[in-house]
Amino acid sequence: MSLSRVALACWVAGLLSASPALAADGVIEINQARADAGGVTPGDAPGYPVTLSRPGSYLLTSSLLVASPNLTAIEITSDDVSIDLNGFKLVGPATCTGFGASLACAPAGSGAGIFANARDGISVRNGFVGRFPSGGVILFQVESCVVEDVTLQWNGRALQVGGSCTLSGLIVDRNAGEGIFSFTNDASAQDSVIDDTVLRESVLSRNRGEGVFTTSSAGRDRFQIERTAIYGNGRTGADLRTEGGLRDSAVYGNAQGGIRLGVNSPDPDSGLLRGNAVGSNAYGFALDPGHVGYTHNNVTGNTNASSGGVQIGPNVCGGDLICP
Amino acid sequence: MYARALQAMFRAAILAAVATAPAPTHAGDGAIEINQTCAVMTGCDDADSPGFPVTIYAGRHVLTSDLATSDPSQTAIQVNGALVWLDLQGFTISGPTSCTSPGPACSPTGSGSGIVTVSSGYTTIVNGTVRGFGSDGIAVNNNCRVQGVLVTENGRHGLATGLGCVVRGVRAVRNGSNGIVTGANGVLAHNLADGNGAAGMRGEQGSVFVDNTSDGNGAEGIGGYVGGNVVNDNHARGNALYGIRASAGAIVEGNTVADNGALGLFLNGQAGYGFNVIRPSATVPGSTTVSAGAQNLGDNLCNGVTTCP
């Protein structure tokens, strides 16, 4: 082999390694080797974070292990990005002890599993994101997102979303902040006039903060929880400072209360609680007195009395059909 | 000279790679493969010895063939690490047990399960069949996710989970004991339990049962134990004992309950029920609608009338 031929081979190999790894179906692969090498998308430097600067479909083909508490695993800087974790893990360096209010994690840091700021159309599916000191999946002011079949454990805040998102099949356990935090900025360019986010068929458990906490700059957005178990969180199970509601959900054993809806909200919020079991919390519910209705719930065995809301149908409250 | 040096380096690199990574086998997408050949001949994962059980640790694993054992006390896959994602990819894990209705009667029974976790949890199992084990089909720890799996003809439970699990799209058919039994605070949605020896589905406090079907089981169709369960929008028919059983603090709504052997709804006095349609069996003595003392929230239809029980 001549020296010039070797040089040509090396040049070709270099070109190949710098271009995105494409699966046969056009999906762009992300794995530890490509994270180390960089070039997953234009502008992606070697090491962390893996920067996704182009719309498209991305597939993990190995787990990503991040040793520094201040590094993020994947940063999304484009709209319309879909990440299939493909059963793999994004893992940071934090470890935690305890549960709920007594949960303690170390080290602290600014790293997240997945981070996006003010983007549209982000999807994250099928895997585990854990042990990132700042947060697991932080979709800050991201509109129109989908997060499903993801397990989030031992992060700071587990999951943050903007508005108009669909969240389902999540297991959110033992995170140091809120399980799910939703904040919509009604002045942002991405914001819809009215956002509706739905959380379904998930378990939010033993987080140090609230199971779910929602707020918005103007209070006109909505967060609906359905068919979900919320238990053992260190603060309130669901604290919705937006429009919203809970249906067919069990809210059990949360340290500071079961459900708050429309309390301490920027403006009056309407909502509906129907078909829920709310028990063994500090209190069952605390509701906006004029705009939140409740019916067909069982609110039994909480330490303190529920308050607020309008009873629009029968409920079970400690064996009494009249609540509170 | 230069080319010879490159060849030597190339050869050394290949040898090093071969020496350090003979097993496990990685699928094209980086997952660790499990199949009958590696299970029996070489071991499938790091530190897994040849023979059953296949012992797996952290990471993503995929079945690339059916797995079969012939000993009812032999477990097929044992999960020893946390954070395992196991995709059965449509394949079947099978043992030697078969179960025949009614009952069902299962034989031979033993201590083996299809999949067992002995780890600290966070296991996901999806997309396949677990059939014919002497004990449980799948026994999995806390904070699990089990979706799109058929568990059938296992000697004990079809699926047994710890607390805080999400169980969706599971079909539990003709297992010796419960079809699906979960710990506290789980979510069970869109599942089917049919012809199991004990309950179709059982869960403990704070569990959510929604949009399930539970028919022809040996005890209750759906049972919420301890307290604070949600049992909404399910169907329970032809179960030997109750259609739905629920404890204090439960809410039971929107269910269709018919032809069960005892009460359609067997509820604690501090459980509430509404919007249910309950029809006792016309042929089974003792088949009735709702236990006295439960909190009637209205809009129920009990044996053709709106007065319940």
State how far the Cα of B72 lies from the Cα of B70, in Å rounded to an integer. 7
* A and B: number of Cβ contacts within 8 A: 186
pLDDT of residue B8: 42
Model confidence, pTM: 0.92
pLDDT at B12 exceeding the cut of 50 = no
pLDDT of residue B286: 84
Report ipTM for this prediction. Answer: 0.91
Distance from CA of B28 to the nearest CA of A (A): 8
Integer CA distances (angstroms), A132 to A70, A74, A106, B282, in order: 9, 12, 10, 59
Give the residue-averaged pLDDT of B159-176.
98
State how far the Cα of B187 lies from the Cα of A241, in Å rounded to an integer. 25
Q: Do A59 and B6 touch (CB under 8 A)?
A: no
**Tens-digit pLDDT string for chain A (324 aa):** 344 444 444 444 444 444 566 665 789 999 999 999 999 999 999 999 999 999 999 999 999 999 999 999 999 999 999 999 999 999 999 999 999 999 999 999 999 999 999 999 999 999 999 999 999 999 999 989 999 999 999 999 999 999 899 999 999 999 999 999 998 876 665 555 677 899 999 999 999 999 999 988 765 689 999 999 999 999 999 999 999 999 999 999 999 999 999 887 777 788 999 999 999 999 999 998 888 999 999 999 999 999 999 999 999 998 677 787
Q: List domains and CATH numbers for chain A.
A: 27-317 (2.160.20)
Distance from CA of A317 to the nearest CA of B (A): 8
Provide, as residue numbers in chain B, all residues whose Cβ is less than 8 Å from the Cβ of A171. 122, 143, 145, 164-166
Token representation of residue A284: 């069952």
Residue A99, C-beta contacts closer than 8 angstroms, at least 6 positions apart: A174, A206, A232
Residue B275, C-beta contacts closer than 8 angstroms, at least 6 positions apart: A296, B253, B254, B299, B300
pLDDT at B287 exceeding the cut of 90 = no
Across the beta sheet with A236-240, the strand order is A50-52, A74-76, A112-117, A135-140, A157-161, A180-184, A212-216, A236-240, A257-261, A285-287, A307-308
pLDDT of residue B10: 38
Distance from CA of B61 to the nearest CA of A (A): 8
DSSP letter at B27 equals: P
Nearest CB to A250: which of B3, B208, B269? B208
Q: Do A316 and B184 touch (CB under 8 A)?
A: no
pLDDT in tens, B216-238: 999 999 999 998 999 999 999 99
pLDDT at B190 exceeding the cut of 50 = yes
Nearest CB to B185: which of A201, A229, A318? A229
pLDDT in tens, B82-94: 899 999 999 999 9
pLDDT in tens, B237-279: 999 999 999 999 999 999 999 999 999 999 999 999 999 999 9
Token representation of residue B124: 């996901």
Q: How far is CA A104 from the centre of its chain?
A: 20
